[in-house]
C-alpha cells in the first residue's frame, strides 16, 4: 500500500498497478516470441534509471535466454525538459557486436535519447536494434529515429502529453517507487526556490 505522503502531488492515475502488470506481460510475450526466432540470445539494454522497474518486470516474463545490461544516458537539465543533447554517461559491459539488441526505455518522447542510443549501438556493431518502451509519447516526437537491421518498436502504452511519474519514472529522483503511473501536478515542478 502506498502512503498518502508518497501520493502527494499526483493529479490523477493513468495506469494502475494491475493494468501495468497485464500490459507488461503482453509486451513480454510478444518480445519473447520474436527473440525465440533468433539464432542466438538477444542483448536487452535497459536505460538507467527510469526503466529499471519495467526492465525487471519485462525480462522476468521473457522465457528465452538473453543477456541483460544497463546504459546510462543523461538528457534532462531542470528535471522536466530534455536538453535535446543526450550523452552516454555509463556504457555497457556486454559486447553487442554482431548481436541483436533490444533497448528498454521508460518513455520515448522527443526521440533524442533513443536516436543517440541507436547510433551508439550501431558504432559498437549491433546486428539489429529494437526499442521496447513502457510509454510512448508521440505528441512530443521531434526526431524520427530509425531502427536497425529489421528491428522492431514495442510499446506498453501511448502516453498523453503530461508529465508522468511512478513505476520507475521520477521528478527530481522522487516518485520512482509508486506502483502506478500518475500525472504530476504542475505546481510540483513549477515551484521556484530562492537560494
pLDDT of residue 176: 95
pLDDT attached to residue 193: 38
As a whole number, mean pLDDT of residues 1-19 equals 85
Catalytic residues: 109
C-alpha cell read off for 25: 506481460
Please check the confidence at residue 77 and state whether its pLDDT lies above 70.
no
Percent pLDDT > 70 in the chain is 90
If you average pLDDT over every residue of the chain, what do you get?
Answer: 90
Report how far residue 17's alpha carbon sits from residue 14's, in angstroms, rounded to the nearest whole number: 10
0.85 surpassed by pTM? yes
Distance CA 111, CA 143 (A): 5
As a whole number, mean pLDDT of residues 80-94 equals 74
Pick from 30, 16, 40, 159: which is nearest to 97 by CA? Answer: 40
Give the architecture (CATH level 2) of 4-189.
Answer: 3-Layer(aba) Sandwich (3.40)
pLDDT digits (tens, 9 = 90+) for 153-171: 999 999 999 999 999 999 9
Going by C-alpha positions, the residue among 113, 52, 50, 51 that lies closest to residue 82 is: 113
Query: What per-residue confidence (pLDDT) applies to 7?
Result: 76
For the chain, percent of residues with pLDDT exceeding 90:
79
Domain spans in the chain, listed from the N-terminal domain onward: 4-189
Give the mean pLDDT of 73-97: 74
Q: Is the pLDDT of residue 180 over 80?
A: yes
Chain position carrying cell 526499442? 131
Residue in this structure with the C-alpha cell 490523477, named with its chain if needed: 12
Distance set, CA 46 to CA 20, 65, 81, 114, 195 (Å): 18, 16, 21, 12, 36
Amino acid at each position: 500500500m502506498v502512503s498518502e505522503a508518497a501520493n502527494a502531488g499526483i493529479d490523477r492515475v493513468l495506469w494502475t498497478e494491475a493494468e501495468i502488470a497485464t500490459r507488461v506481460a503482453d509486451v513480454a510475450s510478444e518480445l519473447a516470441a520474436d527473440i525465440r526466432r533468433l539464432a542466438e540470445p538477444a542483448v536487452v539494454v535497459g536505460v538507467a534509471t527510469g526503466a529499471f522497474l519495467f526492465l525487471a518486470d519485462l525480462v522476468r516474463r521473457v522465457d528465452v535466454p538473453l543477456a541483460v545490461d544497463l546504459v546510462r544516458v543523461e538528457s534532462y537539465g531542470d528535471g522536466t525538459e530534455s536538453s535535446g543533447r543526450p550523452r552516454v554517461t555509463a556504457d555497457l559491459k556486454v559486447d553487442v557486436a554482431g548481436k541483436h539488441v533490444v533497448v528498454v526505455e521508460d518513455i520515448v518522447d522527443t526521440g533524442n535519447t533513443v536516436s543517440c542510443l541507436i547510433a551508439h549501438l550501431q558504432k559498437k556493431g549491433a546486428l539489429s536494434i529494437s526499442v521496447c518502451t513502457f510509454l510512448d509519447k508521440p505528441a512530443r516526437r521531434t526526431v524520427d529515429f530509425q531502427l536497425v537491421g529489421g528491428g522492431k518498436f514495442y510499446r506498453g502504452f501511448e502516453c498523453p502529453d503530461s508529465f508522468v511519474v511512478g513505476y520507475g519514472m521520477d521528478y527530481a529522483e522522487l516518485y520512482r517507487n509508486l506502483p502506478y503511473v500518475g500525472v504530476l501536478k504542475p505546481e510540483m515542478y513549477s515551484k521556484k526556490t530562492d537560494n
